[in-house]
Homo-oligomer: A and B are copies of this chain.
């Protein structure tokens, strides 16, 4: 038995990665359930049984979700905040602690918008069946939304009274880890757009580099536990959506 059981699709980083990064950076004793064999209680079928209500009466709407004893938490940002607050990856100051949650939830919104660049009509259809809509949505995302989100993160870093090394407070938090993952995903999905915009956001880039160099994170990122981005996930590399 591990202390934390994380459930998410086993072949994509997706939203689950925002929880996984906190567990990894916090050195948590956790299991990645859907990637374990059925003989250990793992697998996708075991995950879906919980979503279908055959586990706790606390039924998550969708993966990712975390089971921690009697506790069931869904929503990537909520899992990240919950784990971060227990693993030393959240601000100590109460107002900062709450604000870090707001930042993490806003990153979840960014991730949802990235998902909608390739699935603007709906998740029940293939990308190929909504490509004209995706081209329009992605163009709007690159032009309007990407600068707005990156500019906001840059402003948080520039205005942080504890200095520009972290989004909130003076130490690494789940909010920083979320931004790291968002930047990695954006670089994968929109390499052209990101190359064009990163220079105007030096504090965001520096934060990304600092997170990648954290010893626990660096070890994780080099391990097989880190699932590469791919075209089944949230961040997909379709060159036509990157204005290529």
Contact = CB atoms under 8 A, between A and B. Distances in A.
Interface residues of A, number: 51
A161 B121 contact: no
Interface in A54-111: 57-61, 65, 69-75, 77-78, 82, 94-95, 98-99, 101-102, 105-106, 109
A39 interface: no
Contacts of A57: 156, 159-161
A78 B86 CA distance: 19
A74 B103 CA distance: 8
Chain copies in the assembled complex: 2
Given A57-B161, A122-B137, A95 B75 contact: no
A216 interface: no
A54 B43 CA distance: 49
A84 to B, nearest CB: 14
A8 interface: no
Contact of A125 (B72, B133, B140, B168): B140
A71 B91 CA distance: 13
A105 B77 contact: yes
A123 B140 CA distance: 9
